[in-house]
Amino acid sequence: MTTPAHVAIIMDGNGRWAKARGLPRLAGHKAGVEALRQAVRTASDLGVSWLTVYAFSSENWSRPASEVSDLLGLLKLFIRRDLAELHRSGVKVHVIGERQSLQPDIRMLLDEAESLTAGNRSLNLVIAFNYGGRDEIVRAARKIAADVAAGRIDPAAVTEQTVSQALDTRGIPDPDLVIRTSGEMRLSNFLLWQAAYSELVFLPCLWPDFGAEHFEEALRQFRARERRFGGRAERDVISSSA
């Protein structure tokens, strides 16, 4: 049975994991980074080609300054410590999200992660950082509007493909499966355009507890779904044409 080519994950529940243990939230985020390392290995083992993770949303800036700074610190640490290993194992890193307004040191690290691994061919790891689906669509709309204003595009020629090409995910296939941990059941501004036909799987486990068995459970649920992309169920088509 098919393995999804692209799995996207909303890594939720670090704070609750820490709270349940009487630990500071930072401990939960650190454990979350460990779970992320494991998820990258599992994705490769299971034959997934694309793994997108929601590391920091454009709304996360509204958290207390100390937590924002902890999350930024963890991202820097993750790239500094793990980039060589990711590169060795053939992982190609992509970054989506608004990059211009980030601190120059973070921007440089993200650029470095992409350029160092650009030639790799095993797993594609997409890090959504300072990412928000609406913000991404607004930025795409601005690009297209500028092209229209400059006479480079005829408004009547704007298609779904024009929009897809203007998004941060240009060249990245849409996710087949979106997983969210911690029992919350919403997309929270994640891949709004791209997840139009994704299967959604919500798991009760908190992100730091997410291991290979949870990844496999999500894939089991995915395989039990019938994807129709707005068309009809295969069994209906077969019976009506018989």
Using Cβ positions, the residue closest to ligand FPP within the complex turns out to be 15
Nearest-angstrom CA–CA distance, 38 and 206:
14
Question: In angstroms, what is the minimal distance from the CB of 191 to ligand FPP?
Answer: 15
Question: In angstroms, what is the minimal distance from the CB of 71 to ligand FPP?
Answer: 6
Secondary structure of the chain: what % helix, strand, coil (to 5)?
Answer: 50, 15, 35
Nearer to ligand FPP, 58 or 182 (CB): 182
| Token pair 């992320």: residue | 36
Nearest-angstrom CA–CA distance, 192 and 229:
16
What single DSSP character describes residue 157?
G
Nearer to ligand FPP, 14 or 124 (CB): 14
Q: Is 60 a catalytic residue?
A: yes
Nearer to ligand FPP, 166 or 218 (CB): 218
Q: Is 14 a catalytic residue?
A: no
Question: In angstroms, what is the minimal distance from the CB of 68 to ligand FPP?
Answer: 10
Q: Which two tokens stand for residue 56?
A: 């920091």
Q: Which residues bind ligand FPP (CB under 6 A)?
A: 11-16, 29, 32-33, 36, 55-56, 60, 71, 74-75, 78, 182, 207
Sorted by sequence, the CB contacts under 8 Å of residue 121 that are 6+ apart come out as 90, 92
Catalytic residues: 12, 60
